[in-house]
């Protein structure tokens, strides 16, 4: 018998953050439908395409996915020929990720967003944050300051669902939509967009704090027809 009927209640319930990730992964085999519906999510496909481009044209090689959960997206990134380290706060999730995807080339470690020693060790070319930002809002200011000061050349691939006005209860004081997310992160945005779905949007951006990285990216753009 599970503690709650819905996996979402282990994370955010009644407009407040709960954060019982370890218990959630012990009670539910596939929260967020990570191995089924998420495999076909349009924003996830966009993210893979951007990573492929960074590899081909920008020399990106090392990726850290924060909040990797059961490792499905990390495994898809590794299949692009990139070195991937998936990080998650849940030991149960990491054990499952290693069992399912460890042979595919991805590495998995237990850690939090603000365990900066992991990032210092791997010094990733890209940090991937796929649908985790609502759960790390309290750590986000320190995390962004760490990126600015210690990993300014690192790209951030950020994917996050947003919800219609009045629906979002937790975290609305931080941001509620893609423009608000981009303003909060304060990066140089190479590409961004959103997928409109019933009940909300799935947003994405690729950003950096480095003006040099932005210049290199923009120089690779194909000229448009006039």
Q: How far apart, in whole angstroms, are the C-alpha atoms of residue 90 and residue 223?
A: 46
| pLDDT per position as a tens digit, 119-147 | 999 999 999 999 999 999 999 999 999 99
Domains in the chain and their CATH numbers? 33-219 (3.40.50.150)
- The pTM assigned to this predicted structure is 0.95
Instruction: Say how many C-beta atoms besides its own lie within 10 A of residue 211's C-beta.
Output: 10
In this prediction, residue 220 carries a pLDDT of 78
Spans of the chain, pLDDT less than 50: none
In this prediction, residue 221 carries a pLDDT of 72
In this prediction, residue 224 carries a pLDDT of 58
Q: What kind and span of H or E run contains 88?
A: strand 83-88
In this prediction, residue 36 carries a pLDDT of 87
How close are the terminal C-alpha atoms of the chain, in Å? 63
In this prediction, residue 219 carries a pLDDT of 86
């Amino acid at each position: 018998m599970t503690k709650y009927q819905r996996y979402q209640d282990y994370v955010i319930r009644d407009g407040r953050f709960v954060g019982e990730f370890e218990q959630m992964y012990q009670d539910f085999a596939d929260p967020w439908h990570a191995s089924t519906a998420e495999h076909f999510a349009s924003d996830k496909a966009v993210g893979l395409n951007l990573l492929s481009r960074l590899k081909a044209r920008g020399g990106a090689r090392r990726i850290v996915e924060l909040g990797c959960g059961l490792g499905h997206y990390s495994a898809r990134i590794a299949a692009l020929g990139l070195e991937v380290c998936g990080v998650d706060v849940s030991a149960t999730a990491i054990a499952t990720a290693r069992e399912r995807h460890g042979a595919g080339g991805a590495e998995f470690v237990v850690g939090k967003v603000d365990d900066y020693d992991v990032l210092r060790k791997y010094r990733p070319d890209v940090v991937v944050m796929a649908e985790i930002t609502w759960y790390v809002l309290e750590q986000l200011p320190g995390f962004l300051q760490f990126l600015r000061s210690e990993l300014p050349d690192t790209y951030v691939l950020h994917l996050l669902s947003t919800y219609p006005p009045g629906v979002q209860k937790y975290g609305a004081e931080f941001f509620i939509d893609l423009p608000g997310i981009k303003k909060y992160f304060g990066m140089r945005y190479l590409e961004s967009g959103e997928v409109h779905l019933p009940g909300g949007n799935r947003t994405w951006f690729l950003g950096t704090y480095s003006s040099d990285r932005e210049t290199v990216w923009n120089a690779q753009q194909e000229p448009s027809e006039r």
